[in-house]
Amino acid sequence: MNTIIKKADAENINIDVINEAGAIIKRGGLVAFPTETVYGLGANGMDEEAASKIYAAKGRPSDNPLILHISDIKMLDGIVSDVPEAAKVLMDKFWPGPMTLVFRKRKEVPYGTTGGLDTVAVRFPSHKVALDIISSSGVPIAAPSANTSGRPSPTKASHVIEDMDGKVDMIVDGGEVGIGIESTIIDVTGDVPMILRPGYITKGMVEELVGPVLVDKVVTAKTVEEIGGDYKPKAPGMKYRHYAPKAELTMFDGNIENVVEEINRLSKEASDSGKSVGIIATEETKDRYNFGKVVSIGTRKDEASIARGLYGILRDFDTMDVDVIYSETFYDDDLGQAIMNRLIKAAGYRIVNV
Ligand code: AMP
Ligand code: MG
């Protein structure tokens, strides 16, 4: 397939590009486009056959449900059967923005979009290019991240081109995204809201509005054992290994002095045995590593900068041809929880306590 690649500037919208993208979605095709979180791979979410093309292009397991993206609150009526009170409060505050809510679905939403579930995940993004493409298409757009399943999510168009060129009808290049990690997902179908995936909207921000919330144990688990063999995820997708660079990634947790020392020791060992080592460090520690390819992921004083750089760095290690990657860990609260959630999955739960 020949993939059309066109630029779209959120500040200066080219309506022809938007309408070309909207028309492709409307006729059942695939368009990758920027959102404020990561790039999405969009198709008509109300058309099972169109949605099935997303799974094929990504190589995504078909039981992993998609998020429907809307550009107007009124679109919600066509896809969800009930809007609980807590959801209204959250929508009021965080939409448009990086928050996804899981509702009970209307029968019009095909099971091919929801991975067979009776619930549907919905997001109202704030990125102007995304909003205009959704409006132009006239349908809710099902859009997971525009990467090959399992790889780090794309935060700029070149990442999308790497994974999707030749597999989708169009890639809309809107430059680098602002947030860099996927939306916070909150299930509002139960008595108490439950965070299924941490993101830019933190647990604290949610609790300030709706009181105590639950956090799915797949979010807080540091080991596969903690998740437990009998655990049934709310959505099948939560169990998959994700975001992974090609090289094996191991994280080191504990006092930062011990972490630096242990990473230095292992990096020397690996270098001595002819392996190429990548190290994920921070501005605070980057000058303290003596071996390997040291990459600073940002400063601990600004976790948003770490979130923004995370996926790009994981992809960069692929092109640097490293054999192993060692990483520091991050605080497990606020935005740090979202960062750790992605890194732990990228590491396949390989965490060493030092
Ligand atoms: P993404 O990979 O960013 O497209 O996000 C999709 C994820 O959203 C899935 O892997 C699930 O974790 C979650 N999700 C989507 N739909 C539902 C749903 N109906 N119920 C629970 N979680 C969902
Ligand atoms: Mg994804």
Structural domain contains residue 269: yes
Residue 116 pLDDT exceeds 90: yes
Q: Which residues line ligand 1 (CB under 6 A)?
A: 64-67, 102, 114, 117, 119-121, 144-145, 182, 185, 187, 196-197, 234-235, 237-238
* Average pLDDT of the residues in 327-354: 90
Evaluated on CA atoms 113, 116, 117, 118, the torsion sign reads positive
Count of domains forming the chain: 2
Give pLDDT, residue 1.
92
Residue 322 Cα to ligand 1 midpoint, Å, equals: 31
Structural domain contains residue 131: yes
Structural domain contains residue 230: no
If DSSP codes are grouped into helix, strand and coil, which group holds residue 153? coil
**DSSP bridge pairs for 214:** 194
Of the listed ligands, the closest to the CA of 236 is: 1
Judgement on whether residues 278 and 169 belong to the same structural domain of the protein: no
- Structural domain boundaries enclosing 293: 248-353
Judgement on whether residues 259 and 112 belong to the same structural domain of the protein: no
**DSSP bridge pairs for 279:** 294, 326
Claim: this prediction has a pTM higher than 0.75: yes
* Average pLDDT of the residues in 296-319: 93
Structural domain contains residue 187: no
Q: With bands split at pLDDT 50, 70 and 90, how would you rate the model's confidence at 238? A: low
Whole-Å CA distances, 166 to 2, 28, 57, 160, 231? 5, 16, 9, 11, 38
Q: For residue 121, give the ligand 1 atom closest to its CA.
A: 16
Judgement on whether residues 253 and 176 belong to the same structural domain of the protein: no
Picking from 180, 203, 219, the residue at the C-terminal end of a domain is: 180
CATH number at residue 293: 3.40.50.11030
- 36 vs 31: CA distance, rounded Å: 16
Residue 235 Cα to ligand 1 midpoint, Å, equals: 6
Q: For residue 183, give the ligand 1 atom closest to its CA.
A: 3
Q: For residue 105, give the ligand 1 atom closest to its CA.
A: 19
Structural domain contains residue 312: yes
82-100 per-position pLDDT tens digit: 999 999 999 999 999 999 9
Picking from 130, 163, 180, the residue at the C-terminal end of a domain is: 180
* Least confident span in 65-74, 213-222, 276-285: 213-222
Q: For residue 144, give the ligand 1 atom closest to its CA.
A: 4
Residue 189 pLDDT exceeds 70: yes
Judgement on whether residues 143 and 261 belong to the same structural domain of the protein: no
Residue 194 pLDDT exceeds 70: yes
Judgement on whether residues 76 and 164 belong to the same structural domain of the protein: yes
Give pLDDT, residue 333.
79
Structural domain contains residue 215: no
Give pLDDT, residue 241.
65
pLDDT, mean over the chain: 94
Residue 153 Cα to ligand 2 midpoint, Å, equals: 6
Residue 237 pLDDT exceeds 70: no
Residue 131 pLDDT exceeds 70: yes
Residue 235 pLDDT exceeds 70: no
CATH number at residue 27: 3.90.870.10
Whole-Å CA distances, 118 to 55, 107, 250? 19, 8, 37
Q: With bands split at pLDDT 50, 70 and 90, how would you rate the model's confidence at 233? A: low
The token duo for 99 is 């928050």
Picking from 157, 180, 203, the residue at the C-terminal end of a domain is: 180
